[in-house]
Structure 1
Amino acid sequence: MSGRKIAGGQLPDETALVLPVSWREHIHPRRGGWLRLATSVNTDAAAFLMAKLDEALPLFAGADAALLTAFRAYRAGEADPLGAAVAAQLVLRVYGDDERAGPEHIVDAWATQHGLTFAAEAAVELGRVELEAAGSKAAVNWVLRFRAPDTAFHFWVADALVARARVLLAAADDDSYDAAVEALEAHRGEHLTRMIVSFLVPTRQDWVDELCAAGTMRGGVKGDWSMLLCSLGSAKQLEKVHLTTHLREQLNYRDILYTLVDGIGTGVAPTVALLLDRHPKDRDLWGILVRLPTDEAFDLLVDRLDTKPGLPAVLAAVKDYPVRAIHRLAAAAGGNSVNAVAAGQVLRGHVQENPVLMAAVLPVLPDDLRPIVEPFTVGYGQLPEAPADALPAILHSPPWAVARPAASAVVVQGLAVPEHRALKWATGEREAWKVQVDGGLYPAFPFDDAAAAVKSYRSGSLDWYEHISLFTAGPENVVRPLLAAWRPGGQCSWDAQYWGKPLVARYGLEALPPVLHMAKAKPATAAELLLPFVTPEVASLMADWLVRLKSARPTATA
């Protein structure tokens, strides 16, 4: 049979929600949730943090007096959570890309220095502190100030630290966890800190309810509400959140979806189905419905059998829940609608493929379903398998199963790659691409000293958006020598299809190396940047895309 086997005549248990191991890396663990991590604190992290702090201090131009006092107290060894948050904001500015992937160093340092409760409080205080650039962009100094309360925010810098604190709290013993919850109540004075507290300790569902009310209130604070979404613990909360546009739009991220399943369980099914109607090609949403071991979730899949992804999803659910499939498909198979006919076809195949399962299920089927299922059982397993010599040869020896010598590739000798290199613009195309430089789509050149900007670029101290500003708006005599070696990646490639156009319009063939690099990395979005180029490497790449990449084929044929 497909799915689980029958052992000792017992039907399989199809009521337990078992989440895939592949979801593990995307779930923010919670106390009492499915994902239980055995985690330990890095006791060497405190020394790492202090070394990084010494490196960051020269960039520290000043701060609000209260922040400065708290920071000095923390540096002196006092358990000052606000001071620790100030230190973390500074240290994050001097992290390299490889180190920024391991923010547990900072949170583990806090836990090592003053305990888990202190680490949790410091993580919350991150929401009260913001760092702003001061002085020349080529030689940035940073000024710390309190974040204006109850304003919109996008928590890019410190979200990984907060996530690490949640991991430690989820794995803590009961006494340590309860002590942290009690201490965090005093830190719920502002919108962002309330959000962080609920993210850290989602067991306090009364606090989550307060945030749901605030998030769905007309005219409330906009911005990033993902921490609230990862704190939800009931289907009622999720249904309420889904009705609010700016919250619903954030439900499409994998870490939020999988964390919701961990926190709410099978109750997510109705909302996931509504999201699926908005995003019918979203494989994560289909995968969640398939995994949920309830009649409701199975019926929601069957309701969508008339969609292209619906049939594979239902077949996957049939494999995971073979007994439930018989009941729910039979219930849906009555009538002449497209879905009813499709449900009957799936049911017929399932029944006839699994005679052992049917022998156990048929006697206990409800009376209203047995007449629908029984006709599909007639005749299965009664016909003997035909011998190979009784079949046409093509059925037992298909052509693709017979080994044949590989055909030799046709090679045309004496061809040379042309060295012609040029730009060929469509009418008005270059002017349209160049307008984006003058039209304010990207910031003007933000550096006081071009030579200092180049020096910062070569040293690797420019941020990704400063790279874009330098190359799209910097003095041409400064930028041209840098183009051949520039390989924009990571966040630099965001919106490359927009800022890359003025780059090509401005520098022509000299812009090919960075543009070619981006197009190879992200052909779906950056391929069109190569349209004006007439060069051997672009022609070769287009030929490859034409036969291999559906997403880039329109550009290759343009």
Structure 2
Amino acid sequence: MSNGRTAQVTMPGSHDEPAGSPETTGEVSGPGEHEQHAEDRLTMPAAWLRALHPRRGGAKVAVPPLDPAAPERLAAKLDALRQQVLDALEKCPDPELVAAGTAYLAGEPTAPPLGAAVVVASLSWSDHELAALFAETWLVERGLVFAATAMTELASLTYEVAQDIWRVQRMASDEYHHYWYGWNRMELAGRVRAVLSAASDAEYAQVVAALAVSREGGLHHRVMASFLAPSETGWVTADCAEVSAVNVYLAHHLVPAISTPEQAALIADHVHGHVAANSTSLATLVDGMGVEVVPMLIGWLGQTYDADGERRLLGTLAELPSDAAMRALLDRLDQKHVQPAFLRAAARFPRRAMRLLAATGGKSADQLLRAHVLTHLDLVEEVVASADTTAAERITGIANAVPVAAAPPEALPEVLVSPPWARKRKTRKPTVVTGLTCADAPVLRWAPGERDNWRSSLEQGTGTAPTTRRGRRSPAASPPTAAGGTTGTTRSPCSSPGPSGWPRRSSGSGGPPTSGAPATGCRR
């Protein structure tokens, strides 16, 4: 952080001042100092609080209460899926998994957490509500210790398909499940983690003790334990190091667990931006690391596969009270999506934006600096006092420039003073000529030789009308036929092109044309 300040974290709408602020230490300060201090405070937007995975000791979020009706709803859904689970268990080669899964499916109260995990792993998840129901049921019926342990067991299971049957099996530490399988496991884990973050100290200690035992099961167990209890920083650091050496595919599961630059450095190279640039991961990272997450976010810029991911990364940088975060935006001002993010950051941190813009070259930065200084003239003296000589001269040069006098209205052309679109215009009534009637009888007239040309084309059996030199149909293409029949073309008499300038419509009747008279149903 610049100026030696440390960013403080507050919630939206909080009136509590961060520790060490003038208000809490009793120092006398003016409004300007209070506002300046606010620029060094990290405020978690409400959208971040809704998206993040909460951690014990982190941002305070409301954890939804347990749903007592979840077990009943899960039982009804499992009845319809029971045969699918039984088929998977029958094909499973591991007797321990079969026994545990069978016991849980039968509803035995002593069924171990492994059994719950086996049943979950045996389902193909066509029903998206199942994940939430499993987590909720474990928490309601068996408690946090059971739910947390079941999650570590589930993290170690994968499947293979044998004759269209899912067969559950354990993974070795260097194995990873299919890229699409288990997409919803983090939904279960997220719910368990949220409830654990709000648990009492005694219950939390019980869960940590159970997780410590479960961690002995393997790397997959350990990574899930770190996700569930990120406050156990010793676990997280050890798991980051092991993952980077044994199974880098597990690194993205540790992103929501890390809280120090050392942990981030161990896995940063193994986590791609397109995986991490989602709202949940970014908000959880900021909650855990604060402004120290900036280097990790900068490293992911340009790695996302879509514009939304890039905008989320840039938007996260824009909310961080850090010189490094704002410099990252200034260094990319001419890149797509960056300027809107910088303008948000400048509105949130106007002093920092003025100081850093003044130290940045380039046409875009010059234009933004001029607009920013003129918008915040009240901050110029304060920022200049802490800026270097060159930056201070740029700021004061803009602020002290002789303003261009505004021309009085009488000196401007009337069209600029009162533009036509700003005046109400009188609607003119259209002129209508009444009493017009057409007394002429409708007549079909052929151009000289046109009828003979049309008849000869039909006699040759071409069935197609002559065309002009430009490839258009001749006006004599398909006139009405005799005796109400057709001539080999599929056009009806009144849908065929006629003499030039002769619009027609069909009245639904037909009849043979007569020489010098229009065909029945054809009108001009």
TM norm structure 2: 0.65
SS at match of 2:40: coil
Change (3 A) 1:316 1:133: same
Of 370, 380, 393, which residue of structure 2 is paired with 1:348?
370
CA distance in 2, matches of 1:308, 1:400: 35
User: In the TM superposition, what is the alpha-carbon distance from 1:290 to its structure 2 partner?
Assistant: 1.1
Change (3 A) 1:372 1:33: same
Alignment partner, residue 194 of structure 2: 167
Matched residues, percent identical? 32
Of 305, 310, 313, which residue of structure 1 is paired with 2:341?
313
Which runs of structure 2 are paired with 1:90-489 in the superposition (5 Å)?
Answer: 90=122, 92-93=123-124, 96-97=127-128, 99-100=129-130, 103-135=131-163, 137=164, 141-153=165-177, 154=179, 155-188=182-215, 189-217=217-245, 220-223=246-249, 225-244=251-270, 247=272, 250-278=275-303, 282-332=310-360, 339-358=361-380, 361-362=383-384, 369-379=391-401, 386-398=407-419, 401=422
Alignment partner, residue 469 of structure 2: none
Of 12, 18, 42, which residue of structure 2 is paired with 1:17?
42
Of 65, 70, 75, which residue of structure 2 is paired with 1:40?
65
- Tell me the amino acid that sits aligned with residue 349 of structure 1: A
- Tell me the amino acid that sits aligned with residue 51 of structure 1: A
1:516-556: CA deviation from partner (whole Å, max 9, x where unpaired): xxxxxxxxxxxxxxxxxxxxxxxxxxxxxxxxxxxxxxxxx
Of 71, 93, 103, which residue of structure 1 is paired with 2:101?
71
- Tell me the amino acid that sits aligned with residue 174 of structure 1: D
Aligned residues of 1:199 and 1:227 also touching (Cα < 8 A): yes
CA distance in 1, matches of 2:52, 2:299: 22
- Tell me the amino acid that sits aligned with residue 81 of structure 1: P
CA distance in 2, matches of 1:54, 1:249: 38
SS at match of 1:324: helix
Change (3 A) 1:69 1:243: closer
CA distance in 1, matches of 2:266, 2:418: 59
Change (3 A) 1:366 1:185: same
Aligned residues of 1:79 and 1:118 also touching (Cα < 8 A): no
User: In the TM superposition, what is the alpha-carbon distance from 1:287 to its structure 2 partner?
Assistant: 0.9
- Tell me the amino acid that sits aligned with residue 255 of structure 2: L
User: In the TM superposition, what is the alpha-carbon distance from 1:132 to its structure 2 partner?
Assistant: 4.5
Change (3 A) 1:309 1:7: farther
Change (3 A) 1:389 1:9: farther
CA distance in 2, matches of 1:238, 1:43: 39
Aligned residues of 2:55 and 2:230 also touching (Cα < 8 A): yes
Q: Which runs of 5+ in 1 are unaligned?
A: 1-5, 333-338, 407-558
- Tell me the amino acid that sits aligned with residue 174 of structure 2: D
Alignment partner, residue 49 of structure 1: 74
1:38-61: CA deviation from partner (whole Å, max 9, x where unpaired): 321111222223333333222212
Aligned residues of 1:152 and 1:222 also touching (Cα < 8 A): no
Aligned residues of 2:354 and 2:369 also touching (Cα < 8 A): yes
Deviating above 6 A after TM superposition, structure 1's stretches of 4 or more consecutive aligned residues are: 403-406
Alignment partner, residue 417 of structure 1: none
SS at match of 1:263: helix
Total equivalences in the alignment: 383
SS at match of 2:67: coil
- Tell me the amino acid that sits aligned with residue 158 of structure 1: R
CA distance in 2, matches of 1:209, 1:324: 34
Aligned residues of 1:127 and 1:196 also touching (Cα < 8 A): yes
1:147-173: CA deviation from partner (whole Å, max 9, x where unpaired): 445312243243321122112112222
CA distance in 2, matches of 1:204, 1:396: 69
Alignment partner, residue 510 of structure 2: none
Aligned residues of 1:215 and 1:221 also touching (Cα < 8 A): yes
Greater gyration radius: 2
CA distance in 1, matches of 2:169, 2:383: 67
Alignment partner, residue 481 of structure 2: none
- Tell me the amino acid that sits aligned with residue 412 of structure 2: L
CA distance in 1, matches of 2:220, 2:322: 36
SS at match of 2:368: helix
SS at match of 1:17: strand
Aligned residues of 1:241 and 1:247 also touching (Cα < 8 A): no
SS at match of 2:315: helix
Q: Which runs of 5+ in 2 are unaligned?
A: 1-28, 428-524
Aligned residues of 2:49 and 2:59 also touching (Cα < 8 A): no
SS at match of 1:150: coil
- Tell me the amino acid that sits aligned with residue 331 of structure 2: D
Change (3 A) 1:113 1:309: closer
User: In the TM superposition, what is the alpha-carbon distance from 1:256 to its structure 2 partner?
Assistant: 2.4
Q: Between Structure 1 and Structure 2, which shows a larger proportion of helix residues?
A: 1
Aligned residues of 1:230 and 1:260 also touching (Cα < 8 A): yes
User: In the TM superposition, what is the alpha-carbon distance from 1:379 to its structure 2 partner?
Assistant: 4.5
CA distance in 2, matches of 1:86, 1:405: 78
CA distance in 2, matches of 1:110, 1:124: 13
User: In the TM superposition, what is the alpha-carbon distance from 1:32 to its structure 2 partner?
Assistant: 2.3
1:272-313: CA deviation from partner (whole Å, max 9, x where unpaired): 223225559521121122111111211222222243444333
Aligned residues of 2:63 and 2:195 also touching (Cα < 8 A): no
1:242-299: CA deviation from partner (whole Å, max 9, x where unpaired): 334x656633444323322222111121232232255595211211221111112112
Alignment partner, residue 30 of structure 1: 55
Change (3 A) 1:79 1:35: farther
- Tell me the amino acid that sits aligned with residue 237 of structure 1: Q
CA distance in 1, matches of 2:392, 2:189: 54
Aligned residues of 1:129 and 1:147 also touching (Cα < 8 A): yes
